[in-house]
Amino acid sequence: MHYHSTGELLLLFASLLKIVAALTVTEDTTLTGDQTFSEAVTIEDGATLTLKEGSVYKFENDLSVHGGLVLDNRNVDGTVSFNRESSLNVTGSFELAVSNDVDMFFTSFYNSGSIYVKGSAVVQPAVTFEGLEVFINDGTIDAGSLDEGPAHSAIAFGDAFDPKKTPFINNGKVVVSGTEKFIEGNVVYLLAGNAVKFLSPPSEGTGSVEVTNSYIGLNARNNPGGPEIQLKDSALYLPANFSTSISVLGLKGSIVAFSLTPTSLLPDMKTTLQDGKLPIGFPDAVATIADIDGTIVPCGIKQDLFTLRATESIYNTNPGISFTDSFPSIPDPVTTTTVVGEGHTVTQTTSYYTEAAGGTCEMKTTVYPTASTLSTRYSAAPSAN
Ligand SMILES: *[C@@H]1O[C@H](CO)[C@@H](O)[C@H](O)[C@H]1NC(C)=O
Ligand SMILES: *[C@@H]1O[C@H](CO)[C@@H](O)[C@H](O)[C@H]1NC(C)=O
Protein backbone atom coordinates (compact mmCIF):
# COMPACT_ATOMS: atom_id res chain seq x y z
CA MET A 1 0.00 0.00 0.00
CA HIS A 2 1.31 3.45 -0.88
CA TYR A 3 0.09 6.53 0.84
CA HIS A 4 0.21 9.72 -1.15
CA SER A 5 -0.31 13.37 -0.34
CA THR A 6 0.10 12.92 3.39
CA GLY A 7 3.27 12.25 5.36
CA GLU A 8 3.73 8.60 6.19
CA LEU A 9 4.41 9.42 9.82
CA LEU A 10 1.17 11.29 10.15
CA LEU A 11 -0.59 8.43 8.53
CA LEU A 12 1.04 5.84 10.71
CA PHE A 13 -0.03 7.83 13.74
CA ALA A 14 -3.52 8.25 12.36
CA SER A 15 -3.92 4.61 11.52
CA LEU A 16 -3.08 3.67 15.08
CA LEU A 17 -6.18 5.60 16.03
CA LYS A 18 -7.95 3.96 13.14
CA ILE A 19 -8.47 7.37 11.64
CA VAL A 20 -7.09 7.21 8.17
CA ALA A 21 -6.23 10.39 6.31
CA ALA A 22 -5.95 10.73 2.53
CA LEU A 23 -5.54 7.24 1.27
CA THR A 24 -4.64 6.00 -2.17
CA VAL A 25 -4.75 2.24 -2.41
CA THR A 26 -2.55 0.85 -5.16
CA GLU A 27 -2.35 -2.80 -4.12
CA ASP A 28 -4.70 -5.24 -2.40
CA THR A 29 -5.20 -4.16 1.19
CA THR A 30 -7.31 -5.44 4.08
CA LEU A 31 -8.17 -3.27 7.07
CA THR A 32 -9.93 -4.86 10.03
CA GLY A 33 -12.00 -3.14 12.68
CA ASP A 34 -13.78 0.22 12.75
CA GLN A 35 -12.54 2.85 10.29
CA THR A 36 -12.92 6.58 9.96
CA PHE A 37 -11.58 8.09 6.75
CA SER A 38 -11.28 11.80 7.38
CA GLU A 39 -9.79 12.57 3.98
CA ALA A 40 -10.32 11.33 0.46
CA VAL A 41 -10.03 7.63 -0.31
CA THR A 42 -9.00 6.53 -3.80
CA ILE A 43 -8.73 2.90 -4.78
CA GLU A 44 -6.81 2.57 -7.98
CA ASP A 45 -7.60 0.24 -10.84
CA GLY A 46 -6.13 -3.20 -10.13
CA ALA A 47 -6.24 -2.88 -6.33
CA THR A 48 -8.92 -3.95 -3.85
CA LEU A 49 -9.51 -2.50 -0.41
CA THR A 50 -11.29 -4.90 1.93
CA LEU A 51 -12.83 -3.56 5.13
CA LYS A 52 -14.02 -6.18 7.59
CA GLU A 53 -14.62 -7.05 11.22
CA GLY A 54 -15.62 -3.52 12.06
CA SER A 55 -18.96 -2.16 12.98
CA VAL A 56 -18.48 1.56 12.34
CA TYR A 57 -17.27 2.77 8.95
CA LYS A 58 -17.19 6.49 8.36
CA PHE A 59 -16.25 8.20 5.10
CA GLU A 60 -15.91 11.89 5.78
CA ASN A 61 -14.58 12.86 2.37
CA ASP A 62 -14.58 11.87 -1.31
CA LEU A 63 -14.56 8.20 -2.22
CA SER A 64 -13.27 7.01 -5.61
CA VAL A 65 -13.40 3.32 -6.42
CA HIS A 66 -11.54 2.55 -9.64
CA GLY A 67 -10.43 -0.87 -8.44
CA GLY A 68 -12.44 -2.82 -5.85
CA LEU A 69 -13.94 -1.93 -2.48
CA VAL A 70 -15.40 -4.69 -0.32
CA LEU A 71 -17.08 -3.31 2.78
CA ASP A 72 -18.49 -5.93 5.11
CA ASN A 73 -20.65 -4.56 7.87
CA ARG A 74 -23.14 -7.27 8.65
CA ASN A 75 -22.82 -6.52 12.31
CA VAL A 76 -26.34 -5.86 13.58
CA ASP A 77 -25.12 -2.83 15.55
CA GLY A 78 -23.00 -1.55 12.70
CA THR A 79 -23.21 1.71 10.79
CA VAL A 80 -21.80 2.91 7.50
CA SER A 81 -21.90 6.65 6.88
CA PHE A 82 -20.89 9.03 4.13
CA ASN A 83 -20.59 12.79 3.94
CA ARG A 84 -23.27 14.41 1.80
CA GLU A 85 -20.88 17.25 0.92
CA SER A 86 -18.50 14.82 -0.80
CA SER A 87 -18.46 12.79 -4.00
CA LEU A 88 -18.66 9.13 -4.88
CA ASN A 89 -17.08 8.01 -8.13
CA VAL A 90 -17.23 4.27 -8.87
CA THR A 91 -15.66 3.07 -12.09
CA GLY A 92 -14.63 -0.27 -10.54
CA SER A 93 -16.57 -2.51 -8.18
CA PHE A 94 -18.05 -1.61 -4.79
CA GLU A 95 -19.56 -4.40 -2.68
CA LEU A 96 -21.49 -3.28 0.35
CA ALA A 97 -22.76 -5.90 2.79
CA VAL A 98 -25.09 -4.42 5.40
CA SER A 99 -27.51 -5.21 8.19
CA ASN A 100 -28.66 -1.66 8.84
CA ASP A 101 -29.96 1.17 6.70
CA VAL A 102 -27.35 3.21 4.85
CA ASP A 103 -27.81 6.67 3.30
CA MET A 104 -25.54 7.02 0.32
CA PHE A 105 -26.12 10.74 -0.11
CA PHE A 106 -23.44 12.67 -1.98
CA THR A 107 -23.14 16.01 -3.71
CA SER A 108 -21.92 14.09 -6.74
CA PHE A 109 -22.95 10.46 -7.17
CA TYR A 110 -21.46 8.82 -10.24
CA ASN A 111 -21.24 5.12 -11.07
CA SER A 112 -19.98 3.62 -14.30
CA GLY A 113 -18.77 0.40 -12.66
CA SER A 114 -20.77 -1.86 -10.34
CA ILE A 115 -22.29 -1.24 -6.96
CA TYR A 116 -23.52 -4.41 -5.25
CA VAL A 117 -25.69 -4.37 -2.15
CA LYS A 118 -25.66 -7.59 -0.15
CA GLY A 119 -28.49 -7.88 2.34
CA SER A 120 -29.18 -9.58 5.60
CA ALA A 121 -31.00 -12.81 6.34
CA VAL A 122 -32.53 -11.31 9.48
CA VAL A 123 -33.79 -7.86 8.50
CA GLN A 124 -34.29 -5.97 5.25
CA PRO A 125 -31.84 -3.06 5.41
CA ALA A 126 -32.51 -0.10 3.12
CA VAL A 127 -29.79 1.58 1.10
CA THR A 128 -30.88 4.93 -0.32
CA PHE A 129 -28.94 6.60 -3.12
CA GLU A 130 -29.02 10.30 -3.75
CA GLY A 131 -26.88 12.81 -5.63
CA LEU A 132 -27.59 16.42 -4.80
CA GLU A 133 -25.95 17.87 -7.92
CA VAL A 134 -24.80 14.90 -9.99
CA PHE A 135 -26.83 11.68 -9.77
CA ILE A 136 -25.82 9.37 -12.60
CA ASN A 137 -25.64 5.63 -13.12
CA ASP A 138 -23.92 4.53 -16.33
CA GLY A 139 -23.01 1.13 -14.87
CA THR A 140 -24.84 -1.41 -12.71
CA ILE A 141 -26.46 -0.98 -9.34
CA ASP A 142 -27.45 -4.38 -8.03
CA ALA A 143 -29.25 -5.60 -4.94
CA GLY A 144 -29.24 -9.33 -4.47
CA SER A 145 -27.14 -10.97 -7.18
CA LEU A 146 -24.19 -11.48 -4.84
CA ASP A 147 -26.21 -12.61 -1.81
CA GLU A 148 -25.00 -15.89 -0.40
CA GLY A 149 -28.14 -17.80 0.55
CA PRO A 150 -31.39 -16.12 1.59
CA ALA A 151 -30.80 -12.43 2.29
CA HIS A 152 -32.89 -9.35 1.75
CA SER A 153 -32.29 -5.71 1.04
CA ALA A 154 -34.17 -2.72 -0.25
CA ILE A 155 -32.67 0.00 -2.39
CA ALA A 156 -34.18 3.38 -3.19
CA PHE A 157 -33.31 6.27 -5.47
CA GLY A 158 -34.10 9.86 -4.70
CA ASP A 159 -35.95 11.60 -1.97
CA ALA A 160 -39.27 10.55 -0.52
CA PHE A 161 -40.29 14.10 0.29
CA ASP A 162 -38.55 16.62 -1.94
CA PRO A 163 -39.57 16.53 -5.62
CA LYS A 164 -37.24 19.45 -6.41
CA LYS A 165 -34.05 17.41 -6.06
CA THR A 166 -31.77 16.39 -8.94
CA PRO A 167 -33.33 13.50 -10.88
CA PHE A 168 -31.65 10.11 -10.96
CA ILE A 169 -30.26 9.59 -14.46
CA ASN A 170 -30.06 5.88 -15.15
CA ASN A 171 -28.37 5.10 -18.45
CA GLY A 172 -27.14 1.78 -17.09
CA LYS A 173 -28.88 -1.00 -15.25
CA VAL A 174 -30.57 -1.39 -11.90
CA VAL A 175 -30.86 -5.07 -10.97
CA VAL A 176 -32.89 -6.34 -8.02
CA SER A 177 -33.22 -10.04 -7.49
CA GLY A 178 -34.49 -12.35 -4.80
CA THR A 179 -34.05 -16.09 -4.76
CA GLU A 180 -37.16 -17.09 -2.84
CA LYS A 181 -40.67 -17.40 -4.21
CA PHE A 182 -42.17 -13.95 -4.01
CA ILE A 183 -45.68 -14.44 -5.39
CA GLU A 184 -47.84 -17.43 -4.64
CA GLY A 185 -51.36 -17.25 -5.98
CA ASN A 186 -52.77 -14.01 -4.68
CA VAL A 187 -50.22 -13.56 -1.91
CA VAL A 188 -47.13 -11.40 -2.29
CA TYR A 189 -44.46 -12.24 0.29
CA LEU A 190 -42.91 -8.81 0.60
CA LEU A 191 -40.04 -9.88 2.84
CA ALA A 192 -39.12 -12.90 0.76
CA GLY A 193 -37.65 -10.77 -1.97
CA ASN A 194 -35.67 -7.62 -2.41
CA ALA A 195 -37.17 -4.25 -3.17
CA VAL A 196 -36.42 -1.19 -5.25
CA LYS A 197 -38.20 2.14 -4.96
CA PHE A 198 -37.98 5.14 -7.20
CA LEU A 199 -38.85 8.17 -5.14
CA SER A 200 -39.06 11.81 -6.24
CA PRO A 201 -38.30 13.35 -8.63
CA PRO A 202 -39.01 11.09 -11.61
CA SER A 203 -35.90 9.34 -12.84
CA GLU A 204 -34.59 9.83 -16.35
CA GLY A 205 -32.23 8.16 -18.79
CA THR A 206 -32.31 5.28 -21.22
CA GLY A 207 -31.30 2.45 -18.92
CA SER A 208 -33.27 -0.50 -17.63
CA VAL A 209 -34.51 -1.90 -14.36
CA GLU A 210 -34.53 -5.68 -13.94
CA VAL A 211 -36.65 -7.05 -11.11
CA THR A 212 -36.79 -10.76 -10.26
CA ASN A 213 -38.77 -12.25 -7.34
CA SER A 214 -38.91 -8.77 -5.91
CA TYR A 215 -40.93 -5.63 -5.47
CA ILE A 216 -40.65 -2.42 -7.46
CA GLY A 217 -42.41 0.71 -6.26
CA LEU A 218 -42.86 3.82 -8.33
CA ASN A 219 -43.59 6.51 -5.83
CA ALA A 220 -43.63 9.44 -8.20
CA ARG A 221 -45.10 10.20 -11.60
CA ASN A 222 -42.34 8.14 -12.81
CA ASN A 223 -40.62 6.47 -15.64
CA PRO A 224 -37.88 4.65 -13.78
CA GLY A 225 -34.65 4.87 -15.62
CA GLY A 226 -35.90 5.17 -19.13
CA PRO A 227 -37.99 3.01 -21.32
CA GLU A 228 -37.89 -0.37 -19.73
CA ILE A 229 -38.79 -2.30 -16.61
CA GLN A 230 -38.16 -6.03 -16.82
CA LEU A 231 -40.24 -8.02 -14.37
CA LYS A 232 -39.88 -11.66 -13.52
CA ASP A 233 -42.32 -13.10 -10.95
CA SER A 234 -42.40 -9.71 -9.28
CA ALA A 235 -44.83 -7.12 -8.03
CA LEU A 236 -45.09 -3.59 -9.39
CA TYR A 237 -46.69 -0.93 -7.24
CA LEU A 238 -48.13 2.14 -8.92
CA PRO A 239 -49.55 5.07 -7.04
CA ALA A 240 -53.25 5.26 -7.76
CA ASN A 241 -53.63 8.91 -8.47
CA PHE A 242 -50.65 9.73 -10.67
CA SER A 243 -50.77 9.34 -14.42
CA THR A 244 -47.89 7.05 -15.24
CA SER A 245 -46.59 5.69 -18.50
CA ILE A 246 -44.13 2.82 -18.43
CA SER A 247 -42.90 -0.01 -20.62
CA VAL A 248 -42.68 -3.44 -19.07
CA LEU A 249 -41.24 -6.76 -20.14
CA GLY A 250 -42.37 -9.93 -18.40
CA LEU A 251 -45.82 -8.94 -17.21
CA LYS A 252 -46.87 -12.57 -17.35
CA GLY A 253 -46.32 -14.14 -13.95
CA SER A 254 -46.08 -10.75 -12.30
CA ILE A 255 -48.69 -8.61 -10.67
CA VAL A 256 -49.39 -4.95 -10.69
CA ALA A 257 -50.68 -3.96 -7.29
CA PHE A 258 -51.87 -0.65 -6.03
CA SER A 259 -51.27 -0.23 -2.41
CA LEU A 260 -52.66 3.21 -1.68
CA THR A 261 -56.06 2.33 -2.88
CA PRO A 262 -58.91 1.16 -0.74
CA THR A 263 -60.54 -1.97 -2.02
CA SER A 264 -63.61 0.09 -2.82
CA LEU A 265 -61.65 1.44 -5.79
CA LEU A 266 -61.54 -1.96 -7.41
CA PRO A 267 -64.63 -1.49 -9.57
CA ASP A 268 -63.02 1.60 -11.07
CA MET A 269 -59.73 -0.03 -11.87
CA LYS A 270 -60.48 -1.13 -15.38
CA THR A 271 -58.08 -2.27 -18.02
CA THR A 272 -58.30 -3.75 -21.46
CA LEU A 273 -55.59 -4.47 -23.96
CA GLN A 274 -55.38 -1.84 -26.68
CA ASP A 275 -52.57 -1.94 -29.26
CA GLY A 276 -50.22 -3.71 -26.85
CA LYS A 277 -50.94 -1.24 -24.08
CA LEU A 278 -52.87 -1.58 -20.87
CA PRO A 279 -54.42 1.69 -19.78
CA ILE A 280 -55.39 1.18 -16.16
CA GLY A 281 -58.08 3.58 -15.15
CA PHE A 282 -58.33 5.06 -11.72
CA PRO A 283 -60.95 7.57 -10.69
CA ASP A 284 -58.60 10.48 -11.41
CA ALA A 285 -55.61 9.14 -13.34
CA VAL A 286 -54.59 6.65 -15.97
CA ALA A 287 -51.51 4.45 -15.72
CA THR A 288 -50.46 3.14 -19.11
CA ILE A 289 -48.35 0.02 -19.21
CA ALA A 290 -46.88 -1.00 -22.54
CA ASP A 291 -46.44 -4.76 -22.78
CA ILE A 292 -43.12 -4.82 -24.63
CA ASP A 293 -42.85 -8.55 -25.19
CA GLY A 294 -46.46 -8.87 -26.28
CA THR A 295 -47.24 -11.85 -24.05
CA ILE A 296 -50.48 -10.60 -22.60
CA VAL A 297 -53.75 -11.87 -24.02
CA PRO A 298 -57.09 -10.38 -23.12
CA CYS A 299 -58.13 -13.62 -21.39
CA GLY A 300 -54.96 -13.50 -19.29
CA ILE A 301 -55.80 -10.24 -17.55
CA LYS A 302 -57.16 -10.86 -14.11
CA GLN A 303 -58.33 -8.21 -11.73
CA ASP A 304 -58.34 -9.33 -8.16
CA LEU A 305 -57.48 -8.66 -4.56
CA PHE A 306 -53.92 -9.39 -3.50
CA THR A 307 -52.51 -9.78 -0.05
CA LEU A 308 -49.23 -7.96 0.43
CA ARG A 309 -47.84 -9.82 3.39
CA ALA A 310 -44.95 -8.61 5.51
CA THR A 311 -45.43 -11.10 8.33
CA GLU A 312 -48.21 -13.53 9.24
CA SER A 313 -49.98 -10.74 11.11
CA ILE A 314 -48.96 -7.66 9.11
CA TYR A 315 -50.51 -7.41 5.71
CA ASN A 316 -52.65 -5.30 3.41
CA THR A 317 -55.21 -6.50 0.96
CA ASN A 318 -55.14 -4.40 -2.17
CA PRO A 319 -56.70 -4.47 -5.57
CA GLY A 320 -54.36 -5.35 -8.37
CA ILE A 321 -54.04 -6.96 -11.74
CA SER A 322 -52.20 -10.11 -12.62
CA PHE A 323 -51.40 -11.65 -15.95
CA THR A 324 -51.54 -15.29 -16.83
CA ASP A 325 -51.87 -17.38 -19.94
CA SER A 326 -55.61 -17.39 -19.60
CA PHE A 327 -58.07 -17.52 -16.74
CA PRO A 328 -56.69 -19.68 -13.96
CA SER A 329 -60.33 -20.49 -13.27
CA ILE A 330 -63.54 -19.57 -14.97
CA PRO A 331 -64.97 -16.43 -13.38
CA ASP A 332 -68.64 -15.91 -12.73
CA PRO A 333 -70.11 -14.20 -15.76
CA VAL A 334 -71.48 -10.79 -15.10
CA THR A 335 -74.32 -11.09 -17.52
CA THR A 336 -77.46 -13.11 -17.03
CA THR A 337 -78.43 -15.93 -19.33
CA THR A 338 -81.30 -15.45 -21.66
CA VAL A 339 -82.70 -18.44 -23.42
CA VAL A 340 -84.46 -17.38 -26.53
CA GLY A 341 -87.92 -18.70 -27.19
CA GLU A 342 -90.99 -19.56 -25.20
CA GLY A 343 -91.09 -22.30 -22.66
CA HIS A 344 -87.36 -23.08 -22.51
CA THR A 345 -85.38 -23.37 -19.33
CA VAL A 346 -81.72 -24.24 -18.89
CA THR A 347 -81.28 -27.67 -17.37
CA GLN A 348 -77.52 -28.01 -17.65
CA THR A 349 -74.44 -26.30 -18.96
CA THR A 350 -72.11 -28.75 -20.58
CA SER A 351 -69.24 -26.77 -21.91
CA TYR A 352 -67.65 -23.41 -21.64
CA TYR A 353 -64.61 -21.79 -23.06
CA THR A 354 -63.06 -18.37 -23.19
CA GLU A 355 -62.18 -16.27 -26.15
CA ALA A 356 -60.65 -12.86 -26.63
CA ALA A 357 -63.04 -10.38 -28.15
CA GLY A 358 -62.67 -6.64 -28.48
CA GLY A 359 -59.96 -6.28 -25.87
CA THR A 360 -61.93 -8.08 -23.19
CA CYS A 361 -62.57 -11.73 -22.59
CA GLU A 362 -65.79 -13.45 -23.49
CA MET A 363 -67.03 -16.65 -22.02
CA LYS A 364 -69.24 -18.80 -24.21
CA THR A 365 -71.36 -21.72 -23.23
CA THR A 366 -73.60 -24.15 -24.91
CA VAL A 367 -76.81 -24.73 -23.01
CA TYR A 368 -79.39 -27.41 -23.38
CA PRO A 369 -82.85 -26.07 -22.85
CA THR A 370 -85.72 -28.42 -22.31
CA ALA A 371 -87.13 -28.39 -25.79
CA SER A 372 -84.18 -28.14 -28.15
CA THR A 373 -80.45 -27.42 -28.15
CA LEU A 374 -79.52 -23.81 -28.43
CA SER A 375 -76.18 -22.16 -28.40
CA THR A 376 -75.85 -18.93 -26.53
CA ARG A 377 -73.11 -16.64 -25.32
CA TYR A 378 -72.39 -15.12 -21.98
CA SER A 379 -70.31 -12.03 -22.12
CA ALA A 380 -67.91 -11.79 -19.23
CA ALA A 381 -65.46 -8.96 -19.08
CA PRO A 382 -63.30 -10.00 -16.15
CA SER A 383 -60.89 -7.17 -16.61
CA ALA A 384 -63.70 -4.70 -16.23
CA ASN A 385 -65.35 -6.63 -13.49
C1 LIG B 1 -14.73 9.57 -12.15
O2 LIG B 1 -13.40 9.14 -12.21
C3 LIG B 1 -12.90 9.01 -13.53
C4 LIG B 1 -11.53 8.36 -13.44
O5 LIG B 1 -10.71 9.07 -12.57
C6 LIG B 1 -12.88 10.36 -14.19
O7 LIG B 1 -12.40 10.26 -15.52
C8 LIG B 1 -14.30 10.92 -14.20
O9 LIG B 1 -14.28 12.24 -14.71
C10 LIG B 1 -14.90 10.94 -12.81
N11 LIG B 1 -16.30 11.27 -12.94
C12 LIG B 1 -16.93 12.09 -12.09
C13 LIG B 1 -18.34 12.37 -12.39
O14 LIG B 1 -16.38 12.55 -11.11
C1 LIG C 1 -53.33 11.38 -4.13
O2 LIG C 1 -52.69 10.62 -3.11
C3 LIG C 1 -52.27 11.38 -2.03
C4 LIG C 1 -51.50 10.50 -1.10
O5 LIG C 1 -52.30 9.47 -0.61
C6 LIG C 1 -53.47 12.01 -1.36
O7 LIG C 1 -53.06 12.78 -0.26
C8 LIG C 1 -54.20 12.87 -2.36
O9 LIG C 1 -55.38 13.37 -1.79
C10 LIG C 1 -54.55 12.08 -3.58
N11 LIG C 1 -55.10 12.95 -4.60
C12 LIG C 1 -56.21 12.67 -5.23
C13 LIG C 1 -56.62 13.66 -6.27
O14 LIG C 1 -56.87 11.67 -5.01
Closest alpha carbon to 229 in 287, 187, 161, 297 = 287
8 Å CB contact between 256 and 281: no
Q: Output the average pLDDT for the chain.
A: 79
Contact 65, 113 (CB under 8 A): yes
In tens, the pLDDT along 133-190 reads 999 999 999 999 999 888 899 999 998 667 678 999 999 999 999 988 898 888 988 8
- Ordered by start, the domain boundaries in the chain are 84-323, 334-384
Query: Is the distance from the beta carbon of residue 105 to the nearest atom of ligand 1 less than 6 Å?
Result: no
Residue 43 and residue 49 in contact, taking contact as beta carbons nearer than 8 Å: yes
The model's pLDDT over 271-309, given as tens digits with 9 standing for 90+, comes to 777 888 888 877 667 788 888 888 887 777 777 788 888
Instruction: Please enumerate in sequence order all residues whose Cβ is within 8 A of that of 158, keeping only pairs 6 or more positions apart, or say none.
Output: 129, 130, 165, 167, 168, 198, 199, 200, 201, 203, 220
Backbone angles phi, psi at 322, to 5 degrees: -120, 165
Indicate the top mutation candidate among 200, 238, 241, 258 to test ligand 2's pocket, ranked by most ligand atoms within 8 A of CB: 241
- What is the percent of the chain where pLDDT is above 70? 71
Query: In the chain, helix, strand, coil percent, each to 5?
Result: 5, 50, 45
Q: Check: CB of residue 130 under 8 Å from CB of residue 158.
A: yes
* 260-290 core/surface letters (b: 16 or more CB in 10 A; e: else): ebeeebbeebbbbbeeebbebebeeeebebb
* Nearest CA residue ID for atom 10, ligand 1: 89
How many Å apart are CA 184 and CA 182, to the nearest integer?
A: 7
Separation of 240 CA from ligand 2 center, angstroms?
8
Residue 232 burial (10 A CB sphere; 0-12, 13-18, 19+): middle
Rounded to an integer, what distance in angstroms lies between the CA atom of residue 218 and that of residue 231?
Answer: 14
282 Cα to the center of ligand 2, angstroms: 12
Q: Where are the alpha helices (DSSP H) in the chain?
A: 8-16
Assessment of whether the complete model's pTM goes beyond 0.85: no
Residue pair 111/135 in contact (Cβ under 8 Å)? The answer is no
Other Cβ atoms closer than 10 A to 146: 16
137 close to ligand 1 (CB < 6 Angstrom): no
Mutation choice for ligand 1 from 44, 45, 91, 106, CB with most ligand atoms inside 8 A = 91
Answer whether 110 contacts ligand 1 (Cβ < 6 A).
yes
Partners of 184 in beta bridges: 187
Going by alpha carbons, the residue nearest to atom 10 of ligand 2 is 241
- Indicate whether residue 91 lines ligand 1 (CB < 6 A): yes
Q: Which atom of ligand 2 is nearest to the CA of 239?
A: 2
pLDDT band at 259 (very low <50, low <70, confident <90, very high): low
Q: Residue 12: pLDDT above 70?
A: no
Q: Give the pLDDT of residue 316.
A: 82
DSSP 3-state of 95? strand
Ligand 2 mean position, distance from CA 241 (Å): 6
The per-residue pLDDT for range 84-95, each reduced to its tens digit, is: 999 999 999 999
For 61-81, write each residue's pLDDT tens digit.
999 999 999 999 987 789 999
Q: Does ligand 1 lie within 6 Å of residue 24's CB atom?
A: no
The count of residues in the chain is 385
Distance 3 CA to ligand 2 centre (A): 55
**H helices within 105-169, ranges in order?**
none
- Which pLDDT band, with edges at 50, 70 and 90, does 7 fall under? very low
Asked if residue 283 has a cis previous peptide bond (ω within 30° of 0), the answer is: no
Residue 81: CB within 6 Å of ligand 1? no
59 touches 79 (CB < 8 A): no
